[in-house]
Amino acid sequence: MCAVALAVLASCSATKYVPEGAYLLDEVRIRIDNKEVKPSELSLYVRQKPNAKWFSLMKMQLYVYNLSGRDSTRWINRTLRRMGDAPVIYDAEETERSREEIAKAVQNMGYMGATVDCVREVSRKKMKLTYQVTTGNPYIVQSLSYDIPDRKIWQYMQADTAGTYLSEGMCFDVNLLDMERQRITDNLLNRGYYKFNKDYITYTADTVRNTFLVDLTMHLAPYKAGRDMPSQPHRQYYIDKVGFITDYDVLQSSALSSIEVNDSIHFKGYPIYYKDELYLRPQVLIDNSRLTPGKLYDERDVQRTYSNFGRLQALKYTNIRFFETQRNDSALLSAYVMLTKNKQQSISLELEGTNSAGDLGAAASVSFQHRNLFHGSESFMIKLRGAYEAVSGLQGNYRDEDYTELGAEATINFPRFMFPFLSESFRHKIRAGTEFGLQYSYQFRPEFTRIVASANWSYKWGMQRKNAQHRIDLLDINYLYMPWISPDFEKLYLEQDENYILKYNYDDRLIVRTGYSYVYNSAGQALMNNTLMGNSYSFRFNIESAGNLLYALGKVTGMKKNEAGEYTLLNIPFAQYVKGDIDFAKNIVIDDRNSLAFHVGGGIVIPYGNATIVPLEKRYFSGGANSVRGWSVRDLGPGSFPGDNNFLNQTGDIKLDASIEYRTRLFWKFRGAAFIDAGNIWTLRDYVDQPGGKFDLKTFYKQIAVAYGIGVRLDLDFFVLRFDGGMKAINPARGAERYPIIHPKFKRDFAFHFAVGYPF
């Protein structure tokens, strides 16, 4: 069916709506006679580009547009034209502007004699356009000198030469010259020069006759308050006083006289103005400000202040205003941190539908959030959740009940590092947030009743960097309690020796863990959902361990053991393991509509000491929307194990995953993707109920599953709806039929996935 549709679209004339005497701009290329200059660096200057291609292959939107009839009053024709793209008609004026801009860009790279020619190839009503760039010889900086009459600024420049972009022998690149201006400006802004900008720095370049050599001189112009004002030396500004205005309305003028305040207090020398009541403790305002009276103006302090106040959920906006004052010969700045209050309390409701192997269900939760519980921007949240799901297909004498779950969760976040014996300077440097949480879940099924209770204490911080995040789970306690298990379920599944994995996960269990995770995203806080954001990569590392302190305590105190030889605390055995995960993803932009993304990751969890098995929630599974997409969730592995309809047996201790995905813009907010996934899970031990699942270094590569498929994504900016269809290509569980890519069967090999967000 797809092949027929493509044939129909391709048969439509691409030039159907190209007027007589005009040409469809079919292709644009940039060719350069110098390998040092990349075409990708110049493509930004092409003002007119041909119709976009899906997956860099088909001009599908042009074909859709050409399917429309000429009668624009018919709805079907209007719809097709909205979904498609009108043909791009060659424009000689736009081509000439592009040629001029490309030539200027190459000349700015140091090839001052560069020329650009336009080569046009016409076939019927289509045109292929080539910008032929001839760079010529580069101009080289022969000598570098400085004309800096301000001795103090010259001293700062001399002390900050390690990162300079300029050197004798460099190519005369205007872009590097401008980057050096900005680098010096940033340095001076951090040293009190509040009114400095890069326009005060200029260059003169003298070329040596009949050579490609340049004598380069940097100049510093004196400060001028206005065009007709006299010149004067650049001045360093000191912070005079710092004040806080806590009820600033962003819709009003930022002039101090127009801001409505009713009262004020002075706290540790800082004036604080407010309207009706002061909703933040004064110490919170001072702790988050990096502006210090008597200190030189530093742009970094300004940005850190913005960052610190931006972390406070009690605030919606932050604006910092400076007012210049003069005292004797000193240039001073009065700083006012103007804050806009956020909505302090909110209630939200969430609804969701579930489908577990055909059993339908629904869940709902209601949550209450207070963003300023103790007037220090502490965020408190409490959530109540309920779920119901029909249970069918059980074989045995069980309760005539469906699955029901009731849960409650409470968390409180403090925007500061709450730990004893830490110095104030250390707390300011890290700027960590502290989280305490409690969770409770009551699960009622025909086979058993289960209660899960947990508590956690953790820290998050970014060390003043937006692209790196750290998290320490200092203490995470989980208690699994099984108050009732059906006698039939226990006899059928738990009392058989080979089902010890199943039995382990249906015993009362205590997990006391600590962990650390690190996430680095080269794009900073930019949205990863936007595939056109530019080349970027991300790295994630996580390590955690459980049971070590309790095991040591058991050894020292002679703690009681159960029948399985496990130490118990209050007759409850505790888990002991170590787990590590690593993940790397990269996004490569091909052009403004296409990108290539790939991902590789793996993990291992090792039980030891007080345990021979890892708790279910800490084991790995494979398959699903974010794994090997030819398999349903928890449907792949371990190893060559084909599964036995027991999801507990399709878990493992080792996981490997790799994916490559070609992403393209389709139309409107729809995106498309073609992908290949590979991976599997394995066990560390040879379990009876998981035959073929043990990891073997010599043979594991033969058990790597491979899938391929396509997907459609609806990018709504704030979140992405994803629909992926995967087909099995290599199935390690099929034995002699392990290559379904050769003889695919749709019903057997296809898996459909719906998810929110990109897979990586």
Partners of 468 in the beta sheet?
520
Give the model's pLDDT for residue 727. 96
CB atoms under 10 Å from CB of 491, counted, come to 11
Q: What is the distance between the alpha carbons of residues 640 and 681, in angstroms, rounded to a whole number? A: 10
What does DSSP assign to residue 54? B
Environment class of 3 (CB within 10 Å of its CB; exposed 0-12, middle 13-18, buried 19+): exposed
Specify the higher pLDDT residue, 205 or 591: 205
- AA identity, residue 479: Y
Q: What is the distance between the alpha carbons of residues 393 and 660, in angstroms, rounded to a whole number? A: 38
Partners of 314 in the beta sheet?
none
Average model confidence (pLDDT) for the chain?
Answer: 89
Question: Tokens at residue 175, please?
Answer: 């872009």
Q: What is the distance between the alpha carbons of residues 329 and 241, in angstroms, rounded to a whole number? A: 17
- Look at residue 528 and tell me whether its pLDDT is greater than 50: no
Q: What is the DSSP string of 256-316?
A: GGGS---EEEEETTEEEEESS---S-HHHHHHH----TTSBP-HHHHHHHHHHHHT-TTEE
What does DSSP assign to residue 650? S
Q: Where exactly are the structural domains of the chain?
A: 2-134, 140-224, 237-341, 346-390
Partners of 740 in the beta sheet?
none
pTM to 2 decimal places = 0.84
Give the model's pLDDT for residue 524. 61
Q: What is the distance between the alpha carbons of residues 60 and 450, in angstroms, rounded to a whole number? A: 54
Per-residue pLDDT of 440-475, as tens digits, reads: 999 998 888 999 999 999 999 875 556 889 999 999
Which of 189, 135, 25, 174 is CA-nearest to residue 91? 25
- Look at residue 71 and tell me whether its pLDDT is greater than 80: yes
Give the model's pLDDT for residue 7. 44
Find all residues with CB under 8 Å of 308, minimum gap 6, and list them: 288, 289, 290, 431
Q: Say how many residues make up the chain.
A: 760
Give the model's pLDDT for residue 229. 82
Sign of CA dihedral 301, 302, 306, 307: negative
What does DSSP assign to residue 232? E
Strand, helix or coil for residue 504: helix
Sign of CA dihedral 68, 74, 79, 81: positive
Report which secondary-structure segment, H or E, holds 323: strand 315-327
Per-residue pLDDT of 308-326, as tens digits, reads: 999 999 999 999 999 998 8
Per-residue pLDDT of 342-396, as tens digits, reads: 999 999 998 887 666 567 789 999 999 999 999 999 999 999 999 998 887 666 6
Strand, helix or coil for residue 44: helix
Which of 304, 294, 284, 300 is CA-nearest to residue 333? 294
End-to-end CA distance of the chain: 31
Helices (H) and strands (E) in the chain, counts: 14, 31
Report which secondary-structure segment, H or E, holds 244: strand 237-245
Q: Spell out the CATH class of 237-341.
A: alpha beta
Question: Tokens at residue 722, please?
Answer: 């994803």
Q: Where are the beta strands (DSSP E) in 6-135?
A: 24-32, 115-123, 126-134
In degrees, to the nearest 5, what angle opens at C-alpha 312 toward C-alphas 308 and 315? 115
Per-residue pLDDT of 552-569, as tens digits, reads: 999 999 899 988 889 999
- Look at residue 689 and tell me whether its pLDDT is greater than 60: yes
Q: What is the distance between the alpha carbons of residues 438 and 442, in angstroms, rounded to a whole number? A: 14
Tell me how far CA of residue 32 lies from CA of 39, 118, 133, 398, 636, in angstroms: 7, 12, 5, 76, 50
Question: Tokens at residue 4, please?
Answer: 């027929």
Environment class of 47 (CB within 10 Å of its CB; exposed 0-12, middle 13-18, buried 19+): middle
Architecture of domain 140-224: Roll (3.10)
Environment class of 193 (CB within 10 Å of its CB; exposed 0-12, middle 13-18, buried 19+): buried
Phi-psi region of 524 (alpha: psi -120 to 50; beta: other; left: phi over 0): left
Give the homologous superfamily in CATH for domain 2-134: membrane protein fhac (3.10.20.310)
Give the model's pLDDT for residue 1. 44
Q: What is the distance between the alpha carbons of residues 162 and 181, in angstroms, rounded to a whole number? A: 15
- 292 phi and psi angles, rounded to 5 deg: -120, 125
Partners of 239 in the beta sheet?
333
Q: Rounded mean pLDDT of 204-231?
A: 90
Which of 430, 523, 420, 427 is CA-nearest to residue 471? 430
Question: Tokens at residue 117, please?
Answer: 């020619």
Tell me how far CA of residue 516 lies from CA of 460, 548, 615, 656, in angstroms: 10, 15, 19, 21
Per-residue pLDDT of 573-605, as tens digits, reads: 999 999 999 999 999 988 778 899 999 999 999
Strand, helix or coil for residue 198: helix
Give the model's pLDDT for residue 519. 93
Same fold yes or no, 2-134 and 140-224? yes
Q: What is the distance between the alpha carbons of residues 638 and 654, in angstroms, rounded to a whole number? A: 9
Distance of CA 687 to the CA centre of its chain: 38
